[in-house]
Amino acid sequence: MAGKTFFSVGPSQLFPTVGQHLQTALAENIGSISHRGKQFESIYKETVENLRVLLEIPDGHRIFFFSSANEIWERLLQNCVEHHCFHLVNGSFSAKFHEFAVTLRKNAYKHEVEPGKGFSLNEISVPEEAEAIAAIVNETSSGVQMPLSDVKELAQRYPQKLFFADVVTSLPAVSPDYNFIDCAYFSVQKGFGMPSGLGVAILSPRCVERAKELNSKGQVTGTYHNFSQLEKFAAQNQTPETPNVLFIYLLGKVAGDMLKYGIENIRIETAQKAKMIYQAIEKSSELDFFVKEPAHRSITTIVAEVKGGSTSLIERLKSKGLILASGYGAFKEKQIRIANFPSQSSEMTEQLLKELPS
C-alpha cells in the first residue's frame, strides 16, 4: 500500500470509501444544493436512518448535528443543566467538559481519578442536587474505557438524573444501551473515519423536554442550536443553520457502507485487532501497558508506555509511513497511542505490529 497509514486517534485513517463518496458528491453538486430543498432533505433523512439502524438507536431518540463534540459539551450545559452537574474525570477530555461547566457558571462537581485509571462504581457518589451525570466511555487521552455494564449500572442507580455519555472514540465499535443514556455524542473524525468537522448527538425524549422546560423558565439555552430549534428543523429533515451538507452526506454513506459490511463484523474485528495489539505490548520488552486494570483497557485507543521515551519510536515508524499518536499532554514523550477504529484494517494492524519493538 502506497503512502501513509494513520493510527493516530483522531483525525485518523479515513474509511476506505470516503474518497469515492467525495467524488460522487462533487459529481452530484452536493456543495451547491440548497439546504432548504428536497435533495438535502433526502440526504439528511438517509444519514439519520442509517445511523439509527447502524447504532440501534431507539425510535424516540433524536439525532442532531453539531460542529464537534466540543460544541455538544457546551450545548448540553446550556440546554440541560440549570445549576448543578456531576462529572467523571480521568483524563484531558473528561476534564475539559468539566471546565466548560465551570466556565458556564454551573456548580460542577467532579469525581476524579488519575489518568490511566478507571472508575470503581462503589466509590462514586453523585450529590443529590446534581441534575446530570457526565460519564466518559472512552478517555482518548489515556486509553481508559468504562465497561458498558458500568455505564448502565451507574445510569440506573440515578434514574432521575440525566445521563450524558461521551462515546466519541467508542462508536461504532461498541453498542451502548441508549435507553439509559440521555445524550450519547461523537464527532466523525474518530471511529467513523471521516475528516473532522461534524458532531452528532443522540438525545432521549426527556433530554429535549428538559431543554424546553429550562427555556420556558427563562434560561438562555442558546440561539440556533438550542434543542427546540434543532427538533423543529429535524422534523422537516433540516437544520436551523446552513450546515455541513457535504459531511452529513458523507456520514450517511459511510454509515451505509458499515451496514453493508456488517456492524457485527466490525465489532468482531475490533476485538481481534485490540487483542493482537495488547499481546504485542505484553510481549515487548520495550513497551508496557499504561492502563494496569485489564477491564479498563480501551479496545479502540490503545496506550503503551515506551521505555526510554516514545519520540524516536514515533519518528522511526513515521519514516515507514506508519503514523502513531504520541502520548497526550504530560505523557507526550513517554507514550504512544494506537487507534483501533474500523478504518484500520487487520492487514494494516499486522503491518504496524511487525514494526513495533519486540
End-to-end CA distance of the chain: 24
- Which of these segments, 35-43, 66-74, 248-256, 289-297, binds ligand PLP (CB under 6 A)? 66-74
Taking the mean position of all CA atoms in its chain, how far away is CA 357? Answer: 30
Q: How far is the CB of 8 from ligand PLP (least distance, A)?
A: 11
Contact status: 74 vs ligand PLP (CB under 6 A): no
Contact status: 51 vs ligand PLP (CB under 6 A): no
Pick one of 43, 88, 130, 168: the residue that binds ligand PLP (CB under 6 A): 168
Nearer CB in complex with ligand PLP: 137/313: 137
Query: CA 124, CA 87: separation in Å to the nearest integer?
Result: 10
Contact status: 69 vs ligand PLP (CB under 6 A): yes
Q: Could you give the 3-state DSSP secondary structure of residue 288?
A: strand
Placement of cell 483525525 in the chain: 11
- Which of these segments, 68-76, 113-121, 311-319, 342-350, binds ligand PLP (CB under 6 A)? 68-76
Contact status: 145 vs ligand PLP (CB under 6 A): no
Sign of the C-alpha dihedral, residues 211, 212, 214, 219?
positive
- Which of these segments, 67-75, 106-114, 124-132, 202-210, binds ligand PLP (CB under 6 A)? 67-75
Contact status: 68 vs ligand PLP (CB under 6 A): yes
Pick one of 40, 65, 93, 192: the residue that binds ligand PLP (CB under 6 A): 93
Query: CA 16, CA 94: separation in Å to the nearest integer?
Result: 30
Strands (E), 56-116: 62-66, 84-89, 107-112
Q: How far is the CB of 208 from ligand PLP (least distance, A)?
A: 21
Q: Which of residues 197-216 bind ligand PLP (CB under 6 A)?
A: 199
The one-letter code for the residue type at 236 is Q
Query: CA 188, CA 194: separation in Å to the nearest integer?
Result: 6
Instruction: Classify residue 262 by its DSSP letter.
Output: -
Nearer CB in complex with ligand PLP: 5/170: 170
Contact status: 92 vs ligand PLP (CB under 6 A): no
Task: Tally the C-alpha atoms within 13 A of residue 76's C-alpha that lie toward its C-beta.
Answer: 35
Contact status: 70 vs ligand PLP (CB under 6 A): yes
Helix%, strand%, coil% for the chain, nearest 5: 40, 15, 40
Q: How far is the CB of 246 from ligand PLP (least distance, A)?
A: 17
Pick one of 46, 131, 150, 166: the residue that binds ligand PLP (CB under 6 A): 166
Strands (E), 101-248: 107-112, 132-136, 138-139, 144-145, 162-166, 183-187, 199-203
Cell of 274: 485490540
- Which of these segments, 17-25, 161-169, 256-264, 336-344, binds ligand PLP (CB under 6 A)? 161-169
| Residues that bind ligand PLP in the complex, under the rule CB under 6 A | 10, 68-70, 93, 138, 140, 166, 168-169, 187, 190, 199
